[in-house]
């Protein structure tokens, strides 16, 4: 319905086949503000919900799985999933975000952040009562003061849709993710380049210089103090990254779309339409090992309605 309305618009739509006119730079680490022994606070926020076709969440493996993945698109959309954003407060470096969540236009005009082709086909959206910017302000954070946004990956529009909401931010993304997301016809893989062009401040994380940390083979220490580590967790997408936080009392792992659901991690199930099922399995094995070695850690999947309904407003 929204797509049909969009087709009647007289203003020219952005051309998704054009590469964004952006010159990303290589991320230089550590960022300023690191402090030895620093612990961060985590606020899990929900920007809204996305409605999917149920087979997309069933996570089957085996010969019939590929056929079911295709047939998924014949099903009606019936299942609502949360679309999160994570506010992380560092005691010296200040607030950073992980993800941007839904753009406020997502429910009324999904073509704006997903393009006309997929804007009304793949998912439907409903927004939280308060936008992400309002939820930050509710917590005493000026959304325009957000200087760093870690993008786990660039799938639109539940992850990258809100890029334009944070004009003061540097957006950190794995270099491999950027290359796939800005390649020709990336829209067919779930990326929408006009959304990426809403920021000119892209910083590419190069995991060639990464260090192992615990269960994870490739990690980057964002502030050089161990409080926020980026983890290379590809598979769902080419350059998916997860985030490991040091809270005062324990560690918190945001594994986002490396596993949409808790069950997916427990049973090490890859997701339909994964960029690479083999790489995704390796990632799931790393996260699983972390969970076994850190039974008290807070571990949060990307879109699990049951887990998200039980999260507290803030973790320290």
Q: How far is the CB of 29 from Zn ion (least distance, A)?
A: 25
In this structure, how many other beta carbons lie within 10 angstroms of the beta carbon of residue 303?
22
What is the total count of residues that contact Zn ion (CB under 5 A)?
2
* Nearest CB to Zn ion, comparing residues 95 and 161: 161
Secondary structure (DSSP) of the chain? -HHHHHHT--SPPP-TTSPPS---EEPPSSPTT--TT---EEEEEEEEEEEE-GGGGT---STTHHHHHHHGGGSPP-EEEEEEEEEEEETTTEEEEE-----TTTTT-THHHHHHHHTTTT-EEEE-SS-HHHHHHHTT--GGG--EEE-S---TTTTSTTGGG-TTPEEEEEHHHHHHHTSTTGGGGT--HHHHTT-S-EEEE-GGG-EEETTEEEEEESSSSSSEEEEE--SSSTT-EEEEEE-SSSEEEEEETT-SSHHHHHTTPPPTT-S-HHHHHHHHHHHHHHHHH-TTSEEEESS-HHHHHH--S-B-
* Nearest CB to Zn ion, comparing residues 139 and 189: 189
Q: How far is the CB of 145 from Zn ion (least distance, A)?
A: 28
Q: Please report where in the chains the tokens 């030895």 appear, as a residue.
A: 36
* Nearest CB to Zn ion, comparing residues 165 and 237: 237
157 touches Zn ion (CB under 5 A): no
Residues 238-257 interacting with Zn ion (rule: CB under 5 A): 257
Q: Using CB under 5 A, which of 116, 147, 155, 201 touches Zn ion?
A: 155
Choices 24-32, 111-119, 151-159, 200-208 (CB under 5 A): range interacting with Zn ion? 151-159
Q: How far is the CB of 168 from Zn ion (least distance, A)?
A: 25
Q: Which residues are registered as beta bridge partners of 174?
A: 205
* Nearest CB to Zn ion, comparing residues 155 and 198: 155
Q: How far is the CB of 280 from Zn ion (least distance, A)?
A: 11
* Nearest CB to Zn ion, comparing residues 170 and 177: 177
Q: How far is the CB of 255 from Zn ion (least distance, A)?
A: 12
Choices 78-86, 139-147, 152-160, 265-273 (CB under 5 A): range interacting with Zn ion? 152-160
Q: How far is the CB of 61 from Zn ion (least distance, A)?
A: 19
* Nearest CB to Zn ion, comparing residues 34 and 110: 110
Q: How far is the CB of 160 from Zn ion (least distance, A)?
A: 10
Residues 254-273 interacting with Zn ion (rule: CB under 5 A): 257
* Nearest CB to Zn ion, comparing residues 118 and 315: 118
Using CB under 5 A, list all residues that contact Zn ion.
155, 257
């Amino acid at each position: 319905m929204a797509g049909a309305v969009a087709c009647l618009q007289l203003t020219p739509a952005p051309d998704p086949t054009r590469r964004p006119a952006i010159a990303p730079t290589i991320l230089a680490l550590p960022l300023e503000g690191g402090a030895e022994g620093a612990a961060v606070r985590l606020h899990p926020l929900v920007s809204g919900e996305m409605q999917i076709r149920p087979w997309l969440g069933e996570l089957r493996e085996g010969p019939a799985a590929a056929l079911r993945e295709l047939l998924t698109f014949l099903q009606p959309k019936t299942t609502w999933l949360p679309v999160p954003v994570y506010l992380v407060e560092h005691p010296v470096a200040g607030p950073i975000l992980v993800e941007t969540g839904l753009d406020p236009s997502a429910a009324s005009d999904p073509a704006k952040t997903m393009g006309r082709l997929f804007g009304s086909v793949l998912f439907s959206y409903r927004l939280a009562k308060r936008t992400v910017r309002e939820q930050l302000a509710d917590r005493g954070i000026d959304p325009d003061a957000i200087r760093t946004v870690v993008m786990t990956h660039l799938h639109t529009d539940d992850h990258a849709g809100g890029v334009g909401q944070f004009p003061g931010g540097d957006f950190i993304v794995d270099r491999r993710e950027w290359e796939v997301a800005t390649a020709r016809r990336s829209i067919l893989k779930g990326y929408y380049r006009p959304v990426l062009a809403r920021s000119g401040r892209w910083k590419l994380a190069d995991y060639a210089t990464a260090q192992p940390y615990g269960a994870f083979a490739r990690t980057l220490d964002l502030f050089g103090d161990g409080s926020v580590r980026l983890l290379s967790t590809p598979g769902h997408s080419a350059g998916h990254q997860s985030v490991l936080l040091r809270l005062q009392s324990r560690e918190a792992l945001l594994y986002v779309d490396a596993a949409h659901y808790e069950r997916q991690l427990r049973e090490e199930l890859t997701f339909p339409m994964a960029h690479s099922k083999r790489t995704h399995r390796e990632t799931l094995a790393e996260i699983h090992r972390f969970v076994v070695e850190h039974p008290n850690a807070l571990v949060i999947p990307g879109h699990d309605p049951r887990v998200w309904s039980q999260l507290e407003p803030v973790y320290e």
